[in-house]
Amino acid sequence: MGMKAREEGGQGGCRSARVLYAIESVLQGLGATILAALFLVVMAAVIRRYLFGGGFVWSDELAIWLHVALIAVGAPLAVTGLLSMRLDVLVGLLPSGWRGIADALAGGIAIQGALVLAFGGAGVAMLVGGTSTVLGLPEWLRFAAFAAGGGLVVLVLTLHAALERGWPAALAALLLGAGFYGLSQLPSGLSLTTPSVAAAVLAAAGLLLGAPLPLALLAGASIASAFGGLLPEPAIVQNTVAGVSKFLLLAIPFFLLAGELLTSGGLAERLVRFAAALVGHRRAGLAQTALVSSVLFSGASGSSVANAAFGAKVMAPTLVARGYPPAHAAAIVAGVSMLDNIIPPSIAFLLLATATNLSVGALLVGGFVAGGVLAVALAIGIHLTVRDVVDAAPKADAREVASSLIGALPAIGLGVVVVVGIRFGLVTVTEASALAVSYALVTCLALRSLDGRSVLAALRRTATEAAAIGLLIGASAPFAFLLALDRVSDGMAGLVTALGGGPYAVMLLANLVLLVAGLFLDIGAAILLLAPLLLPVAIAAGLDPIQFGVILVVNLMIHGLTPPLGILVYVVSGIMRVPAGAVFRAVLPLLCVLLAALALLSLMAAAWPSLAPSLKALF
For residue 355, give the amino acid letter: A
Number of domains in the chain: 2
Expressed as residue numbers, the domain containing 267 is 250-395+402-450+487-611
* Domain boundary, last residue among 212, 245, 278: 245
DSSP secondary-structure letter at 561?
G
Residues 268, 176 share a domain: no
DSSP secondary-structure letter at 111?
H
Residues 391, 374 share a domain: yes
Residues 273, 219 share a domain: no
* Domain boundary, last residue among 214, 245, 276: 245
Residues 264, 223 share a domain: no
> CA 119 to CA 393: how far, in whole Å?
61
> CA 336 to CA 324: how far, in whole Å?
16
As a three-state string, the secondary structure of 473-499 is HHHHHHHHHHHHHCCHHHHHHHHHCCC
619 assigned to some structural domain: no
Residues 321, 211 share a domain: no
Q: In DSSP terms, which residues pair with 138 in a beta bridge?
A: 131
Query: Contact, 78 vs 151, CB < 8 A?
Result: no
For residue 388, give the amino acid letter: D
DSSP secondary-structure letter at 302?
-
pLDDT for position 2: 43
Query: Contact, 274 vs 408, CB < 8 A?
Result: yes
6 assigned to some structural domain: no
Residues 378, 271 share a domain: yes
Q: In DSSP terms, which residues pair with 131 in a beta bridge?
A: 138
Burial of 28 (0-12, 13-18, 19+ CB in 10 A): buried
Residues 135, 270 share a domain: no
Residues 328, 182 share a domain: no
520 assigned to some structural domain: yes
510 assigned to some structural domain: yes
Residues 234, 261 share a domain: no
> CA 20 to CA 552: how far, in whole Å?
40
How long is the chain? 619
Residues 216, 262 share a domain: no
Closest alpha carbon to 254 in 435, 445, 427, 471:
435
599 assigned to some structural domain: yes
Closest alpha carbon to 594 in 309, 385, 373, 332:
373
474 assigned to some structural domain: no
511 assigned to some structural domain: yes
Query: Please, what is the Cα angle at 379 between 378 and 384, to 5 degrees?
Result: 95
Residues 256, 184 share a domain: no
Instruction: Report, as ranges of residue numbers, the positions in the chain whose pLDDT lies below 50.
Output: 1-9, 615, 617-619
Alpha helices per DSSP H over 541-586: 545-558, 567-576, 580-586
Burial of 386 (0-12, 13-18, 19+ CB in 10 A): buried
Residues 584, 497 share a domain: yes
161 assigned to some structural domain: yes
* Domain boundary, last residue among 205, 229, 245: 245
